Structure 1
Amino acid sequence: MSIRRSFALAGAVALASSLVLAGAQGAMAVGTTSSPSAAAPQTDKSAAAKLDVSLDGVPGSFIAGGGGRMFTYVVSNKSAHDFVLFPLLKFKSRAGELQPTDLKVEYQLPGEDWRTAVVAPDKSGAKKDSVLFLLGGLGTDGNPLPDALLGLNRGRTLKIDIRTTFTEDAPLGKAGVVPVSYSAQLDDETHMPIDNGDMTFEGGSRFVIKAQGGGGGGKPSPTPTHSGKPSPTPSQTGSPKPTGSATSTPTETASPTPTQSASQTPTSPATTPAPGASTTGDAGGPIDFPVEPPVITPPKLPADAVAKAKSKADNSDKALAQTGGGDNTTAIAAAGGAVLLAGAGTLVVLRRRKAAQQG
């Protein structure tokens, strides 16, 4: 094969590759901007269109009276609809009392300063062994402030940094934290809530509150007088469900309604630790003791607060689209464009060389 034919073949391959990449990029763009297929709404409907909440990086231990330790609250919208939500965290001590004054919770939204979370009303349980925090502010009427409402558009994930500090009086021993979100799906046309919203309660992580220096400090947890099993009997089939689609295990969602009873019984134990998971190291694991879903009065969703949260989410999405953050399609487009230019350049060089030889 002559050198000229080799160059021509290389140019054709480069051009074909660039066209393939350009076609793939076009397909990806169509997939993100076109309306969902007929099968997509069916899948979304069967999944009950909810948000996924979880925690990432929860440490295995906190020191009573020590410095704050960090982890991340993660909420993902894998549905085909936009949402607004109030993010919350529920902390619980396994055996001792846990008071709001025993810990401080701070949070940081992307691109914003650190703020202090506030204690939210929670009517669940008879024991004072848990505290519910709102990652936002409460008004004098007990309702979350408008700025506490966050927007999360379809296909997006929001990560909130959390910093938690336990005081010297915090109860020592095993404890846990569960992410909570009270969310409402938005209408695709009006961008207003389609209902009063519901609650998601899942993905908790356990940890241990330790004394400074390995001794002293903290409130010692009382020695349990029972066998360590939760109060429900083994034959119990689960907590009574409130009106709606609520469930009661900490690894499933719950949808509280205004008629939900404050006497809701404890949940069944959460998923046991995965094989090989460390229970003594500095990494948290699944909660292995009962944690009740919060029982709260559904917060108000004012139209102006919803519009503001949706607008903020839209602006964040536009900023990501302009910078290419969180999206690999920009990189693919750049690669395709570079190959296309390389292929075109090769053909130009070949044509000039051919013309020179013929001249």
Structure 2
Amino acid sequence: MSIRRSLALVGAAALTSSLVLAGAQGAMAVGVSPSPSASAPQADKAADAKLDVSLDGVPGSFVAGGKSRMFTYVVENKTKHDFVLFPLLKFKSRAGELQPTDLKVEYQLPGEDWRTAVVAPDSSGAKKDSVLFLLGGLDGDGNPQADALLGLNRGKTLKIDIRTSFTEDAPLGKAGVVAADFSAQLDDESHLPVGNGKMSLDSGARFVIKAQGDGDGGGGKPSPTPTRTGKPTPTPSHTGTPTPSGTTTPSQTATPTPSQSATQTPSAPATTPAPAASTTGDAGGPIDFPVEPPVITPPKLPADAVTKAKSKADASDKALAQTGGGDNTTAIAATGAAVLAAGAGTLVFLRRRKASGQQG
């Protein structure tokens, strides 16, 4: 086979590979943008669209009086609209009463320092076996502070690191934690809330509260009677904290009776497992007892707080886009373009060689 024919075949092969790669890249880009389905309009209604909230890496055990352990609160916006939200965590003991003074919860937003979560008023259930925490602060009237409101644009994911510890007075035995949020969809043009927002309770994980000195294998059988030193500490109240008045009727099951508006309609009971296992060696399993959705007075969503949260989310998205943000689509496209250019260059070279040969 002549050298000229060999070079021609090499150039054609390079061009063909470039076109295949470019076609694959186009297919990947199409896959990123989901095609609309018949159920999409229904799912994106203000009353139905919701964020997906879950917990990642919840440990299988905590030691009463021991060190704090970490896991992650994950919220994904898979809808076609931007959202604002207040992130919440609900802890529940199956073994006995759980007081706000029995545990400490801290959280860390991306790029920020650790902060202490605050106890949020929750009127769900008659037993004092659960505590609701707001991953944010409360003002003097007991309402969430403006900077506690977070923005999450369409297609984005937010991860908040959590570290939790239990005191020596915490009830030993089986317990669990569930991810919750109070969120509101934003109008696509005005970027203001559509409606008054709604409460949602999502997936959770169980764990065991063990006494100091217990092994790492699970801490023994759950105690039906809480193990405490002294009398239980009464639940502290926040000065000026509004109590729910006609907002919802607490239910005795995992699915409460909805309030007079859709703003307090909770999602399905939190009985689904956490999506991923802990990397600490003893992972929490799926929660296997009912947890009632929180019953709270719907927090206010002032326009200035919403605008601030949206602007912060936009700035974060822009920064990720400038640094690459883990998206390898651009790198793949650049590689395909380089190969395509190389193939075209080979053909140009061959054409010039042919023309030169004919002139000679």
- The interval holding the TM-score normalised by the smaller chain is 0.7 to 0.9
Question: In terms of mean alpha carbon deviation, does 6-15 or 152-161 score higher?
Answer: 6-15
Match of 1:10 in 2: 10
**CA offset digits 1:1-46 (Å, max 9, x no partner):** 533223223323322433444455567668879x985857425337
**Matching residue of 1:44:** 43
- Which whole-Å deviations, capped at 9, do the CAs of 1:270-305 have from their partners, x for residues lacking one? 35999xx9xxx8211111112111110111111111
CA–CA distance in structure 1, aligned partners of residues 147 and 286 of structure 2: 31
Q: Could you say which residue in structure 1 is the equivalent of 2:247? A: none
- Structure 1 residues 174-205: Cα deviation after superposition (integer angstroms, max 9, x where no partner): 00000001000000000000110001101011
Change (3 A) 1:149 1:36: farther
Confirm whether residue 209 of structure 1 aligns to residue 226 of structure 2: no
- 1:114 counterpart letter in structure 2: W
Conserved in 2, the CA contact under 8 Å of 1:105 and 1:165?
A: yes
Query: Are the equivalent residues in 2 in contact too, given 1:273–1:288 (CA < 8 A)?
Result: no
Contact 2:255/2:269 (<8 A) preserved: no
TM-score (normalizing by structure 2) = 0.80
Percentage of matched positions with identical amino acids:
77
Q: Who is 2:236 aligned against?
A: none
Alignment deviations for residues 61-97 of structure 1 (CA, whole Å, 9 cap, x no partner): 0111111111110111111100000001000110211
Q: What residue number does 1:134 align with?
A: 134
User: What residue number does 1:180 align with?
Assistant: 180
Alignment match, 1:262: none
Query: Counterparts of 2:294 and 2:268 in 1: how far apart (Å)?
Result: 11
Distance 1:237 1:185, change over 3 A: closer
Cα offset for 1:139?
A: 0.6
Q: Distance in 2 between matches of 1:27 and 1:146?
A: 42
> Is 1:323 aligned to residue 340 of structure 2?
no
1:313 matched to which residue of 2?
313
Q: Residue 294 of structure 2 aligns with which residue?
A: 294
Q: Distance in 2 between matches of 1:158 and 1:203?
A: 16
Partner secondary structure for residue 289 of structure 2: coil
Change (3 A) 1:312 1:31: farther
Give the structure 1 partner of residue 259 of structure 2: 242
1:318 and 1:160, CA in 2 relative to 1: closer, same or farther beyond 3 A? same
272 and 147 in structure 1: CA distance in 2 versus 1, 3 angstrom threshold: closer
**Contact 2:203 2:274 (C-alpha < 8 Å) held by counterparts:** no
Paired with 1:319 and 1:68, the residues of 2 have a C-alpha distance of: 32
RMSD across aligned C-alpha pairs, in angstroms? 3.2
- In the alignment, structure 1 segments of 5+ residues that lack a partner are 225-231, 252-269
Does the C-alpha gap of structure 1 residues 40 and 6 become closer, same or farther in structure 2, counting only changes over 3 Å? farther
In the TM superposition, what is the alpha-carbon distance from 1:126 to its structure 2 partner? 1.8
Contact 1:239 1:248 in 2 (8 A): no
> Could you tell me how far 1:317 is from its partner in structure 2?
1.3
Question: Contact between 2:269 and 2:293, CA under 8 Å: does it hold in 1?
Answer: yes
Shift of 1:244: 4.3
- Unaligned 5+ segments in structure 2 are 227-250
User: Which position in structure 2 is the counterpart of 1:155?
Assistant: 155
Structure 1 counterpart of 2:44, which letter?
K
- Quickly say closer, same or farther: Cα 1:96–1:112, change in 2 above 3 A: same
- 1:222-248, Cα deviation, whole Å (9 max, x unpaired): 449xxxxxxx99xx8954333345246
2:101 is the alignment partner of 1:101: yes
Q: Is the contact made by 2:82 and 2:188 (CA closer than 8 Å) also made in structure 1?
A: yes
- Tell me which amino acid in the other structure corresponds to 1:186: L
Partner residue in 1 for 2:61 = 61
Q: Which residue of 2 aligns with 1:191?
A: 191
Q: Decide whether the 8 Å contact of 2:44 with 2:79 is kept in 1.
A: no
Q: SS state of the match for residue 342, structure 2?
A: helix
Query: Match of 1:112?
Result: 112
Count the aligned residue pairs.
324
Counterpart-to-counterpart distance in 2, 1:352 and 1:126: 87
Taking a change above 3 Å as real, the CA distance of residues 319 and 20 of structure 1, as seen in their structure-2 partners, is farther
After TM superposition, the structure 1 = structure 2 runs for residues 205-354 of structure 1, keeping only pairs within 5 Å, are 205-214=205-214, 221-223=223-225, 239-244=256-261, 246-247=265-266, 249-251=268-270, 270=271, 282-354=282-354
Is contact 1:119–1:132 with CA below 8 Å preserved after alignment? yes
Contact kept, 8 Å, 1:187 with 1:194, in 2: the verdict is yes
In structure 2, what is the Cα distance between the partners aligned to 1:149 and 1:172? 34
Question: Counterpart in 2 of 1:70?
Answer: 70
Separation of aligned partners in 1, 2:55 and 2:179: 7
- 1:109-135 CA-to-partner distances (Å, cap 9, x unmatched) read 111111111111111122221111111
Deviation at 1:142, TM superposition (A): 1.0
